[in-house]
A and B are shown apart, each in its own frame.
Chain A
Amino acid sequence: MIQLQKISKYYPVGLGRNFILKEIDLTINEGEFVSIMGPSGSGKSTLLHIMGLLEEPSDGQYLFEGERVDRMSEKKRTELHRGSIGFVFQAYHLIDELTVYENIETPLLYKNISSSERKSRVADVLDRFNIVAKKDLFPSQLSGGQQQLVGIARAIVSEPRVILADEPTGNLHSDQAKSIMELFKELNEKDKITIVQVTHSDVNATYGNRIIQIRDGHIRS
């Protein structure tokens, strides 16, 4: 599903280059649950951003379902970005001025989905995550775990094929982290959503079915 071929990312420093990722080859198949691990600054977040089309590689090819992303038109990429990829962040990144309901609804707005369908899809997700009662609250009124729950709800409401999670439990204590990870596992197994997560925690990494170690811009295992 995701194929990275000789992906590099570097910044010019003086006369040379400062590599963040160096010639990464990686294939992630549909339905996998992959954990990317590595020390700080090893380039794992950058790798995730490149997969999520948030950043462009300096070199190499990125194929999404066999199609070269760098050859796609802007429109197609936006399409892909909106329709197939969902993001979950360490800092939740909920919009403070919007309620839980509205936060979850936002990606659907960008997909130009009709109002009635938006309503039913948001309602489904709220129901599934057991947060119906909280739908009119603002993020500041929720606990961290609940906020991340909303963050995940927002990520799956547009029915993506891949969820890219950047240390989703980094700001949570272990109980909350556990339930979030179980939720991921369920999404992966039941909904067949491919999940790629970046994590520091060995425990969380075990929820996935593959662990990728990254160090100094290289894949170690």
Chain B
Amino acid sequence: MLISYLKIAWRNLVKQKVFALVNLLGMSAALCAVLLLSLTAYREWSFDQFHENKNSVYQIVNEKYLNGGDKPTITKSVAEPLAAAVKSEIPGIRHTTFIIAFDLPIRYGNNSYYLNTKLANTDFWEMFSFPMIKGSPKPKNGALNEVVITQKAATKLFGSSDAIGKAIEINIRGRWVPYTVGAIAENVPANSSIRFELVAPLESDPDYADIKGKWDVSTNPLFVQLEPGITRETFEKQLNILREKHYTKQDEFGSAKFRFKSVALKDFKLSEESYFFAGVNKYYPWLMLILSVLIISIACINFVNLSVAKSLGRSAEIGLRKSLGAINSQLFIQFWMESFLLCAIALIIGVMLAIGILPYYNRQFSQQLNWGMLQNIRLVAGIVIVFFLITLLAGGFPAWKIARQHIITVLKGKMTLNKGNHTRNSLIIVQFVVAVLLFSSTAIIWQQLNYIRKKDLGYNINTVISIPLDNATPAIIDKMKQELAQLSEVKDVSAGMNNFGIGTDGSSGNWIVGFSFQDRQVSTKFQKVDYNYARTMGMNFIAGRDFSRAFGTDSSAVLINEAMARQLGVKEPIGTSFEFSDMGQVHVVGVVKDYNFESLRQKIDPLTMAIAKPQDLSYMFASVTTANLSATLDKITKEWKEVNPLSENPPSYLNDNIRRLYEEEGRFSNMLMSGALLAIIITCMGLFAVTVLTIAQRKKEISIRKVLGASVQSVVMLLTKDFLMLVLIAIVIATPFSWYFMHQWLQQFEFHITIRWWIFMVVGFVAVAFAILTVCLQSIHAAMANPVKSLNRE
């Protein structure tokens, strides 16, 4: 029986090539897209799931409201004594560890390598599931100079020889510190957000003494593991009781609204609040899933419409089978089998397509998918189940519709699924709604990204080079400054502790300081910078001057931005003085025009800048005047490598760093754009096939009209009109949805475009153009045909 079904299904496919092709192409493209998109979403969600303690490990973060703002700011670092306090004062805390992340140069013999290094407490190994290959991560007698390295790092450093006990040196904070290798861990799984090649004891950090026991400096993120049975809510409650006890006097944030929160281990990858947040918006995996559902439903709709329309030609067969004793369920199975066969072929093509474009996909969208993920039985089972559902959806509905047809009407060849035109038209509208929705969203995202690219940020991004200092010593920094001063292209040189955008080192951060001013609590973002900062960056002054050596050390001088000046609320900000953090009494020497020192997602917060000590500087900035930007960059890169051979991250122009800030959006819009394009193509293919069928059905009508004197235009109009109507309805339905979603999306940017009505006009016009092109070709063909031919055949 099954064989007979398959046979007839196959012969039908071969016979109706256009439909088979449309269905097959649409379905395989959709399945390919769905496979890639859902694997991407799956991968994001699978992060950190391998930890045994994934349900009991949390990161402590603190949440505060700056100057009565309504959006909380999260800082991810806490004070060092909090760890001990949490462990001793809150019941039910099993382990705690700090984690500090670095890229540090490691020296073994004459070779040095940069390794992704973490400094952590020994509890780290209890809390997270990183199995050892050899040795124990807990040194006997508590030695502080033993490190754990991964298998990969061991091979990199020592080749095939045994790594255990080998002496290495690590360059921490500009100093070479000796360590021995105590244990070798397995390589970190690809879906771990905590990545390392080497883990050293936190206490071995030379700067550890500076923070030990101090409640007023928060430098490192803290992680805790709760005992079983302790809920996150009780823990957070206890934590905030603890906060009141220890932070009353030394409240570092100057804001009473600060409170502790926790971030669960399973959210480390996708929560913006987590220390390991990788920049992927937590909604994006969902959006990918939604996108794949949309694409597959468009393909399914094609399938349904074509199958129903196609079955008209098989009315005799259906009736006949019924008269031969087939019951509805058998017919249902038969037609479902046909869909299944088609879907199975489409799946095979789709998978092959996916395998083929995977490297391109990974490159284009910075993904790291691999087919090893398919070794996961549950994932494969999921794919199979979803596939069955798709065939049931795509083939089941038409099968059900066909099988239910009354036998007599069918036998008389009068099977009119014309009532089904209603269904068909609704489905076509759904397709176009999806296509228009995706298309207009893409257009708006593209506009916003364009706006971001073009927006004047208030400083010079095109001719300023940022050099990540990694862990260069003050001597090296001085040397580099001198070298740069000698280059004719370099106009000005300065430095700071924060980068602009995201540099080649991939890091960013902020520092918030609160203090009291005229009996008010105010808080400000704080940056330490070097002399000549504002001039090098090309910032404009509202009043006052830049930091300058001409005025002595300027050590008690600060620069503020307009927002800060507004917050202080004094008439003459220049010369205003206040007690500021651990700097003591400071006075304002200059007010710079507001500039976007953070991303355009955020509004411009109050900002205060002070002169940095050399060891606080993390980035050097050089403004250049040159005709050949890339040659100058190469020159400076070479210079830097010579001055600091240990440097890892190359210099880059600020506009590059800024672009990196919005990479995620760029990637997302690319993905959406591809999805939209695919959706439109599949929709149009379906429309094409439906048109072919409709015209075939109306051939006689067209001929009669022509014989009666209808012109070609009027016939084309007749055939096109109905479909155009559908597209127009779809545009009307899709526009408000699209407007709403995109309005929501834009809200994440403090600086954003306004959605203009004409964008929907443009999108609508394009959709109509596509539809007309698809339908017209066929209609014209039909309208031009000789009417006698089709009339004779009747």
| Interface of A toward B, CB cutoff 8 Å | 49, 52, 54-55, 78, 81-82, 87, 89, 91, 93-98, 102, 105-107, 109-112, 154, 158
Contacts and interface: CB of A to CB of B under 8 A. Distances in A.
A97 B12 contact: yes
A109 B1 contact: yes
Contacts of B411: 54, 89, 93
B199 to A, nearest CB: 67
B407 to A, nearest CB: 5
A97 B327 CA distance: 20
Nearest to A78: B327
B330 interface: yes
Given A93-B319, A109-B1, A87 B11 contact: no
Contacts of A158: 325
16 contacts: A54-B322, A54-B408, A55-B407, A82-B324, A87-B324, A89-B320, A91-B316, A93-B320, A93-B411, A97-B8, A98-B7, A102-B7, A105-B4, A107-B325, A110-B325, A110-B326
A130 to B, nearest CB: 23
A8 B201 CA distance: 96
B317 interface: yes
Given A102-B7, A109-B1, A109-B4, A95 B323 contact: no
B4 A82 contact: no
A48 to B, nearest CB: 11
B44 to A, nearest CB: 46
List the 5 closest pairs (A to B, CB-CB), nearest first: A82-B325, A97-B11, A93-B320, A107-B324, A110-B325
A52 B12 contact: no
Given A93-B320, A95-B8, A105-B4, A49 B408 contact: yes
A16 B1 CA distance: 46
Interface string B656-691: 000000000000000000000000000000000000
B419 interface: no
B402 to A, nearest CB: 14
A111 B320 contact: no
A91 B414 CA distance: 14
Nearest to B5: A109
Contact of B323 (A54, A91, A97, A109): A54
B325 A81 contact: yes
Contacts of B87: none
Contact of A106 (B11, B319, B321, B413): B321
B793 interface: no
Contacts of B756: none
Contacts of A97: 8, 11-12, 15, 317
Contacts of B317: 93, 95-97
Contact of B330 (A54, A98, A110, A154): A110
Interface centre among B316, B320, B413 (most CB of A within 10 A): B320
Contacts of A98: 4, 7-8, 11
Contacts of A96: 317
B47 to A, nearest CB: 51
Interface of B: 1, 4, 7-8, 11-12, 15, 316-317, 319-327, 330, 407-408, 411, 413
A78 B15 CA distance: 32
Nearest to A106: B324
Nearest to B330: A110
A55 B325 contact: no
A110 B7 CA distance: 16
B334 to A, nearest CB: 10
A110 B408 contact: no
Nearest to B10: A97
Contact of A87 (B15, B316, B323, B408): B323
A106 B3 CA distance: 12
Contacts of B325: 78, 81-82, 107, 110-111, 158
Contacts of B7: 98, 102
Contacts of B1: 109, 112
A105 B321 CA distance: 12
Nearest to A95: B317
Given A107-B324, A109-B1, A54 B407 contact: yes
A215 to B, nearest CB: 21
Nearest to A105: B4
A55 B323 CA distance: 11
Contacts of A110: 321, 324-326, 330
A219 to B, nearest CB: 21
A78 B322 CA distance: 10
Given A55-B408, A98-B8, A93 B316 contact: yes
A146 B327 CA distance: 28
A96 B411 CA distance: 15
Contacts of B322: 54
Nearest to B319: A93
Output the residue of B15, B325, B326, B413 with the most chain A CB within 10 A.
B325
A82 B326 CA distance: 8
B324 to A, nearest CB: 4
Given A91-B316, A93-B316, A96-B317, A52 B11 contact: no
Nearest to B320: A93
Contacts of B319: 93
Nearest to B324: A107
Contacts of B324: 82, 87, 106-107, 110, 154
Nearest to A79: B325
Nearest to A55: B408
A151 to B, nearest CB: 10
Contacts of A52: 323
B793 to A, nearest CB: 15
A55 B410 CA distance: 12
A154 B320 CA distance: 11
A171 to B, nearest CB: 13
A154 B316 CA distance: 15
A81 to B, nearest CB: 5
Contact of A102 (B4, B320, B330): B4
Nearest to B8: A97
Most chain-B Cβ atoms within 10 A of its Cβ — which of A78, A82, A107, A110?
A110
Contacts of A106: 4, 321, 324
A114 to B, nearest CB: 12
B351 to A, nearest CB: 28
Nearest to A107: B324
A185 B317 CA distance: 28
A12 B327 CA distance: 28
The residue among A52, A89, A112, A154 with the most chain B CB atoms within 10 A of its own CB is A89
A29 B319 CA distance: 28
Contacts of B316: 91, 93
Nearest to B316: A93
A106 B325 CA distance: 10
Contacts of B4: 98, 102, 105-106, 109
Contacts of B326: 110
A95 B320 contact: yes
A91 B317 CA distance: 12
A77 B358 CA distance: 56
- Most-contacted residue by chain B among A52, A96, A107, A154 (CB, 10 A): A96
A106 B8 CA distance: 11
A207 to B, nearest CB: 23
A97 B10 CA distance: 9
Nearest to B412: A45
Contacts of B321: 95, 106, 110
Contacts of B8: 95, 97-98
Contacts of A78: 325, 327
Given A87-B324, A95-B321, 14 more contacts: A54-B411, A78-B325, A78-B327, A91-B413, A93-B323, A95-B320, A97-B15, A98-B7, A102-B7, A105-B4, A106-B4, A109-B1, A109-B4, A158-B325
